[in-house]
Structures are given as C-alpha cells and as structure tokens.
C-alpha cells in the first residue's frame, strides 16, 4: 500500500471517529501567479453583471481636481444582477450579525462557458500575475475617446476573464483552502468548478474567499475570475486586471483567522516596552476543541538575523465548533530594538510566531511582522517618534509604477522609495486607496512613515461611476478589512478614511457620516489617530471636529489667494493654519497635500515669472502646443502653490507638523494642465524616475546638512545669445555667487523666507556657468553647467548590473545622449532603438515626457531632454545584453548579469 493511500485511509478513519486530523496538516501559502489564461471582450460583454449602473451622459473628465463632488444618481436594477450573491463575501467584516447578508439560492453563471472545466481557453492570451491589461496601450488620442486624460488615455475599460487550473493534491482533503487576492480592478467575481464563490467590488482592497466547499482534491479544478472596469470610474489611472499577487492559503480546520493577529506596544522606552498580543482563532471543524496558543518573538533584522528574544506564556481555551476565539496576552520586553525613521533612528523589526497546539501537535503556525515604537501627536511639537520630534518630509504617491502600470513589482516600488530617500523624504501618504501589502513591507524595512488611506469619495461622486455606487453596501467591510490587513505595520502611523470628500460641503449630515467611519476605524484600531483630508471644510464647520489630527489639503498656504490667482474660479481660501490652531488648540495640524507645482523635466520657457508662485497659463510657464510646463518650478495647478510659498507658510507657523507634497512622482492620468497628455506634471520626479529640478529644491530643505548646489537651467541655448536667461540655484547654503565664463554676476545672501537664489537678468552667452556657495561663512558646495556640443554618442547606465534570475527582478537602465566630450546634451530628442539578447526581455521604455503617446511597450523611444529609460526583466540565469542605437550617433551596449 502506498504512503498516500495509507494516509487517506487513516484520515478517513479519524474523521469518521470524531477525532481530528490537524496533526498532519500545516499552513501553506502558495503563489498562484503563474500560467493564467486571459480574455477581454473587444466589444460587448456577457450579462453576468454585479449591478446596474447609471447612464453616463457626460464623459468629460477634464475637470479641475478640487471641483465640488455631486450627489449620486439612484438606479434600480431591472434584471438579474449578482450583487446579492457577492455581498456575503464581506460578512466577516460586518460587526452586527443582523446586518450580515444571506446568500440567495441558486448558482448564477453556472451555465456560462468560461466557468466550466471543459471549456477550452487555448486561444486566450497566456499571462502571469500581477497583470495590467491596459498598460501596453495604445493610448487614445482623440478628443472624444472612451478613456480620456483623466484615466490616462489607456484601455483600462471593459470586461475581462482570467482562468487557471489549480493543482490541489488529494492529500489536501480535510484542509480549508482559501483564495487570497491582494487586488483586482474591479468588481471581481470568482467561480470555482462552475460554482459562484463570491467576489469584491472595490478594486484596491485585498480579500479572501473560501474555496473549500467547491474544491476537488485530486481532481480537476478550474478557477475563473471576471472583472469589470467601467470608464469614468476614477480620477486617475486605476489600472486594469488582477494587478496584485494572488495566493492559495491552506490550513487545517482550526487555525489563526485571516489577518487574525494584532500586536501593539506601549510604555515604550529604550529599556523596556509592554507588548500586547491579540490572536483570533477560528474553529471550522464540527467539534468543540481544546487548544493551546504559544507565541515566540524573534528579531527580524537583515543585519543581525533572526534571534529568539522571548516566549509569551501559553494560554489554553476551549473553542466551540464554528466559532472564533480571541486570546489576549501581555509581556514586557527588556531593551527593545525600536522602530523609527532614519537617519536618526533605525527601522528595527520583530516577528511573532504564533502556534496553535492540539494534543501536543502544532496544527497551525502564523507569523506576524511588527515593530516597537511610541507615537505622540503633539499640537505644538508635531509628531514624536520614540520621544524625538520628526517633521513630515512627505510626498503623496499614487499606485501606478509609471511605464509598468498598476501591475505591482517589488523592485519598481523599492526603486521609487530609494529615490525618495535620496531626496530626503521620510513619509508617504497613500493617495487615495489601500496599497499592495508588499509596499508596506518595504516602508517597514526602509523606515518610511505612512498615512494609510482608503477612500477618495463616500456617497457623493467625483466621477459618474466611481466608488460612490458601492459605498452604501461596502464601506464597513472595506474599512474593517483595510485596517485588519495593515494594522501590524509599524510604518503606518495614522489612518485616513477620506480625501476631499463631498461630504465636507453637507454640514452636520457630512460630519455624521464622517463620525460613522471614524467609529469603525476606532473599533478596529484605537492605537493610531484617524483623519480625513480637507480642502474645503473650515475650522468653524462640523466636519473637522470628527478628526483626531487635522490634515489640510492646500488650505494652510492658501488656495487661489495670491495675486496671480485672483482671476481663477473655484475654492478661494486665505492661509488657514492660525484659524485651525485657534479652533483646535489640542490637535496636531499637518498638510496632507501641498504645492501641486507643475513642470516638465528639463524644459525651460521664457520669460520667467518674477514672483514666487503663479498658475500655469499660455506664456506664463506653459506651452499648450508642446504640452510642456517650464521647469523653473514656479508654476502650479489652479489650486496649488510653489514650493517657495509652501515653505514660507510652514516656517511662519512652526507648530505645523510638516507636509506631504503633491506629488512625489508623476503618475498616469489626471494630466493637469494639458488634458490631451497621458500623465500628471506634479511630480518632484518624472514618470520615468528622473529627478526634476524641483528635486534639489526639496533636497535642500529636507536634507539641510547635505552639501549640494544645483543650477538651472541648462546652458545650451544657441538661439538665446544676447537674451535674458534667468539663472536660479537651489541649495541649503545661505550665500551664493554666480560666475559666467569666470566673470562674477554677483554674490547674494538669502533673506528670511527665501528658498532659492535668483539672478533674473543674466544675458546668455555660451560657455561655463558656475556657482559657489557658503553656509555660516564656510564654503558649502559648488555646481557647474557647460554649453554642450553636438550629440555624438549614447550611454547606458543601469541602476544595478546584477539582478535575480527569477523572472521578476528588473534593471532600470538610463540612456543619455552625450557630445563627443562625454557631456550630456540637454535638448537631445533623438529616436533610440533598444535591442536585447540573452535570457531577458524589454518590458517597456519611457522618457518622462507627459505628452509622449508612444506605447510603453515600444522598443523605440525618443530621448526627452537628453534622457530615456528602458526597463529589462530577467527570464533565466545568464548575461543579458542591451544595445541602444540612434541615427548618426555612436551606439552603446551593456551587460546585465542575471544570477
């Protein structure tokens, strides 16, 4: 008799006798990202809809970002919809049992071919997850396109299916098997072996479905997932498809619940910390069972490795069949390694390993990564982390990864965070939705502070088909699941349950809804403050009264209040930091969105505005024909402000805890001010990951001890000889002298509330522009720019020469156009052809130009302001050769080692 047959017979005997088989079953978490089949309807779609939607009569999404949200449109279902079969998927996150949903009888879709095991999908596309079906394009270029600039001009819309056959061994019989989806855009509905399992409408939330009733261990198992991504459903590029990781989790019937641990710390000091551990255990078996719970705590440090530091004493309980038991324990940890943001602190982590033991056998083992830190939100001192005041030097980040789209890549996200760390950024606000879990793993390990946000709108809509359609049915489930998933991440320091929501405008009614959401957040986690960002609500309104901390979008520095903005329509607000502080003297205030400065990297337009902040318009920082915004970093969105204005406002109000700039990187969609472009202009860093000049303005402020000086613009202007060409310098120094061809153009001292040095009357002559700087009388830093010659050669420079040969790792390779002396040619726009050989593939190319509508999948890309980017992925071990060619220029090649 084979071992597997013997095992099955033994299990059967034990089950029939009422005994448990858990001793033979362990927890498994298996990636099922590989080898999916994908189909998207070209026209039309099937009728397996979640719910009916209102008709969209106005598809124009070219609206100012701070436009007032409007009331929802009521729609009544006229035919069969699947909503009532999907709603029970969220029952675990509805606190009142009486409000949980009962699944109706029947099995919608059971006769549809795509859910059947015998349907042939060989003609479908073969894909691996994470997958974004829209990112390869092509871009829509017509004014009446079904997807306009707001959502990125890419084909995100439509209905699509994913199918995969699951290998479920026969010895999985008796296990509980769950499907865990980290994110699918959107209205996900899942069938297994022809049975509708459930789904989740909100495309940014992670969710779990129980496959156990429908799984066939040892048999043929077919998983089919339907997604429906409507146009006019987002203000930015939402991505399309199963764009995050997907897992099978296998456990025995008695196990730690989904996101079932919560570890917090209090009384934290360098000498000791009190650790509270809560563990929820589910009994999915048919019998009551006595269990033992033991948790070991280990250090989790890349440098020091894993080391056991303590064991929480075992607790025992009898857990009834079909119920969930919560065990709570407390222990004091001596000399803890504290988690905190660099450079003054280190992000030390721990892992808690919780074991469920029955009859001496471990039946489940669950790991929780956490950090030990104290947070104090002080109205005068700002945020204190472990007793140290830490000012927010933050940025807002949308979820796309530039040319890679919304399909998550750990390396791409890590690269973004590395660039932000070089900038001096220490904090991220996640705009305006839950991130993929791996991003928070990165912020934990790299020490970023995170404002974790869930909703961009509630009941009032910003686009015709956005989340307001499902908010009444799903807001509780989405909020609770979001917090339970993320609450153990030490990088998450506060929850945001709304961004610029329309309920700011509805007085007590809106505040009541805010309080309802706030209470849900507090029920799930009262250890962190909760807030919603405000661009309209004023101190005397009821809305801000709900918040623990006050997060202001643009109101601190004022909205459309400066002279250059007076002619604009929209919200007008004088600087409101003092008014909010006077009304709420005990609440910490910070700016959750500042600036919305706009620029196109390496592009300079003349004349230059002689003030400190102006809205982009034709001839004032803008060129509508080229769809470019001047990179003098003085020009903004209609509701925005330059960095100089923001810095001055914050410095004049030192109790403000800091800022989150809109935005860290350019992002797909919302292409203000040029709607026919593909991406935003507001990033400190462009879409390809190349720093704009603004990078150095923020670096000078956020890293004041970093010896740096940066001159702008470049100095290659053959057509401007004899013309006024202003020169600005960004540096943390307090004194600077500018030289043109070794002739001094003046030495300047920076006054209070000045953040750049300006020489606005420089007459252009080719040659060498040089700046020397001093700080407190000591030499600080220098910078030099030279007039470049004609383009002569190409250069390739990878971010890493060696990558993992795992089919996932990426190398980001910068192409530069150089003259014969190796100097960058700042206005080069040559068409570059990229080729590859060896065990790798070119995933995409980019150049950072928001107006470039060439498909990201193209291997040919024009240089923009002398730069382009090619992203290469490994396929197997070996040497990958990348070559770049352009007509009339010396080519370049490099080798990437996949190991």
- Catalytic residue IDs: 500, 593
Contacts of 361 (CB under 8 A, 6+ apart): 22, 23
CA quadruple 826, 624, 764, 752: dihedral, nearest 10 = -100
Q: CA torsion, points 873, 874, 879, 881, in degrees to nearest 10?
A: -20
**Phi, psi angles (nearest 5°) of residue 511:** -65, -35
Tell me how many degrees the CA angle 33-37-40 measures, rounded to the nearest 5.
115
| Distance (Å, whole) CA 645 – CA 615 | 13
Q: Give the containing element (helix H, strand E) for 330.
A: strand 324-334
* CB-based contact 607:556 (threshold 8 Å): no
**C-alpha pair distances (Å), 477 with each of 94, 112, 355, 524, 545:** 6, 29, 28, 11, 24
- Cβ atoms of 427 and 382 within 8 Å: the answer is no
Sign of CA dihedral 528, 532, 538, 544: negative
Backbone angles phi, psi at 522, to 5 degrees: -65, -35
Distance of CA 550 to the CA centre of its chain: 22
- Tell me how far apart the alpha carbons of residues 557 and 642 are, in angstroms, rounded to a whole number: 10
Tokens linked to 626: 């080229």
**Cα-flanking dihedrals φ and ψ of residue 69, to 5°?**
-60, 155
Reduce the DSSP state of residue 411 to 3 states and report it.
helix
Tell me which residue has tokens 């089950």: 15
CB atoms within 10 A of CB 869: 24
- Say if residues 628 and 615 touch (Cβ distance below 8 Å): no
Distances in whole angstroms, Cα of residue 495 to Cα of each of 442, 475, 492, 525, 577: 18, 15, 8, 9, 21
The structure tokens listed for 231 are 């146009």
Contact 139, 153 (CB under 8 A): yes
How much helix, strand and coil, in percent to the nearest 5, is found in the chain?
15, 35, 45
d(C-alpha 692, C-alpha 704), whole Å:
19
User: How many whole angstroms from its chain centre is CA 247?
Assistant: 20
Look up residue 13 and give its two tokens.
């005997």
Query: Using H for helix, E for strand and C for coil, what is the string for 470-533?
Result: CHHHHHHHHHHHHHHHHCCCCCEEEEEEEECCHHHHCHHHHHHHHHHHHHHHHHHCCCCCEEEE
CA distance 205 to 482: 7
Contact call for residues 598 and 636 (beta carbons, < 8 A): yes
């Amino acid at each position: 008799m084979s071992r597997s047959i013997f095992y099955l017979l033994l299990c059967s005997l034990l089950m029939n006798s009422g005994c448990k088989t858990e001793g033979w079953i362990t927890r498994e978490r298996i990636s099922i990202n590989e080898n999916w089949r994908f189909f998207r309807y070209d026209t039309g779609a099937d009728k397996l809809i979640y719910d009916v939607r209102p008709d969209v009569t106005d598809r124009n999404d070219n609206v100012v970002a701070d436009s007032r949200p409007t009331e929802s449109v009521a729609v009544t279902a006229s035919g069969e919809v699947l909503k009532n079969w999907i709603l029970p998927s969220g029952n675990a996150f509805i606190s009142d049992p009486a409000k949980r949903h009962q699944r109706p009888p029947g099995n919608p879709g059971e006769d549809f071919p795509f859910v059947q095991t015998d349907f042939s999908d060989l003609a479908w596309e073969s894909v691996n997850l994470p997958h974004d079906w829209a990112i390869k394009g092509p871009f829509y270029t017509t004014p009446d396109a079904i997807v306009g600039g707001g959502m990125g001009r890419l084909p995100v819309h439509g209905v699509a299916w994913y199918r995969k056959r699951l290998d479920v061994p026969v010895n999985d019989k008796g296990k509980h098997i769950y499907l865990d989806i980290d994110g699918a855009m959107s209205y996900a509905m899942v069938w297994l072996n022809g049975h509708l399992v459930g789904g989740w409408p909100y495309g940014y939330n992670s969710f779990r479905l129980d496959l156990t009733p429908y799984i066939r261990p040892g048999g043929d198992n077919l998983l089919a997932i339907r997604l429906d991504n409507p146009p006019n459903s987002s203000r930015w590029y939402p991505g399309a498809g199963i764009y995050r990781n997907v897992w099978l989790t296998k456990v025995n019937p008695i196990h730690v619940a989904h996101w079932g641990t919560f570890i917090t710390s209090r009384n934290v000091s360098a000498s000791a910390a009190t650790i509270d551990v809560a563990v929820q255990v589910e009994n999915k078996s048919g019998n009551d069972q006595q269990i033992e719970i033991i948790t070991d705590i280990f250090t989790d440090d890349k440098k020091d490795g894993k080391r056991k530091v303590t064991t929480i004493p075992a607790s025992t309980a009898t857990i009834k069949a079909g119920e969930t038991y919560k065990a709570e324990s407390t222990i004091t940890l001596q000399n803890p390694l504290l988690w905190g943001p660099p450079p003054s602190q280190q992000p030390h982590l721990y892992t808690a390993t919780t074991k469920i033991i029955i009859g001496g056998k471990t039946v489940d083992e669950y790991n929780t990564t956490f950090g030990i830190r104290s947070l104090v939100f002080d109205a005068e001192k700002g945020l204190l982390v472990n007793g140290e005041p830490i000012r927010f030097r933050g940025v807002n980040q949308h979820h796309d990864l530039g040319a890679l789209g919304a399909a998550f890549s750990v390396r791409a996200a890590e690269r973004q965070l590395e660039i932000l760390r070089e900038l001096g950024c220490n904090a991220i606000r996640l705009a305006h939705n839950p991130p993929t879990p791996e991003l928070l793993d990165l912020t934990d390990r790299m020490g970023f502070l995170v404002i974790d946000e869930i909703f961009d709108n509630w009941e009032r809509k910003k686009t015709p088909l956005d989340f307001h359609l499902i908010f009444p049915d799903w807001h509780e489930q989405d909020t609770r699941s979001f917090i339970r998933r993320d609450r153990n991440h030490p990088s998450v320091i506060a929850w945001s349950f709304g961004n610029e929501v329309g309920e700011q405008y509805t007085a007590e009614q809106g505040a009541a809804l805010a309080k309802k959401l706030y209470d849900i957040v507090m029920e799930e986690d009262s250890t962190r403050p909760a807030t919603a960002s405000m661009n309209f609500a004023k101190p005397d309104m009821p809305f801000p009264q709900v918040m623990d901390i006050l997060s202001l979008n643009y109101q601190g520095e004022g909205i459309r209040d400066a002279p250059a903005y007076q002619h604009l329509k929209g919200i007008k607000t004088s600087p409101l930091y003092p008014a909010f502080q006077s009304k709420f003297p005990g609440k910490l205030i910070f700016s959750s969105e500042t600036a919305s400065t706009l620029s196109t990297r390496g592009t300079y337009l003349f004349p230059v505005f002689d003030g400190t902040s102006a809205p982009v318009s034709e001839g004032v920082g803008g060129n509508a024909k080229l769809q470019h915004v001047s990179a003098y970093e003085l020009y903004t969105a209609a509701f925005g402000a330059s960095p100089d204005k923001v810095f001055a406002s914050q410095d004049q109000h030192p109790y403000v805890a800091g800022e989150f700039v809109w935005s860290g990187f350019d992002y797909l969609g919302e292409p203000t001010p040029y709607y026919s472009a593909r991406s935003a202009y507001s990033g400190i860093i462009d879409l390809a990951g190349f720093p704009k000049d603004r990078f150095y303005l923020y670096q000078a402020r956020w890293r004041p001890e970093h010896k740096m000086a940066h001159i702008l613009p470049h100095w290659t202007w053959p057509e401007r000889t004899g013309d006024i060409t202003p020169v600005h310098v960004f540096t943390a120094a307090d004194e600077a002298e500018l030289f043109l061809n070794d002739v001094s153009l003046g030495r300047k001292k920076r006054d209070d509330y000045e953040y750049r040095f300006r020489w606005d009357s420089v007459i252009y002559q080719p040659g060498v522009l040089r700046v020397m700087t001093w700080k407190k009388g000591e030499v600080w830093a220098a910078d030099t720019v030279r007039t470049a010659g004609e383009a002569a050669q190409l250069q390739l420079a990878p971010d890493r020469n060696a990558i993992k040969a795992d089919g996932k790792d990426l190398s980001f390779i910068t192409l530069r156009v150089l003259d014969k002396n190796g100097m960058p040619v700042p206005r080069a726009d040559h068409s570059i052809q990229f080729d590859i050989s060896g065990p790798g593939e070119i995933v995409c190319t980019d150049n950072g130009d928001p107006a470039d509508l060439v498909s990201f999948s193209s291997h040919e890309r024009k240089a923009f302001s002398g730069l382009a980017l090619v992203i290469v992925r490994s396929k197997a071990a070996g040497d990958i050769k990348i070559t770049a060619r352009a007509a009339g220029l010396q080519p370049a090649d490099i080798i990437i080692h996949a190991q």
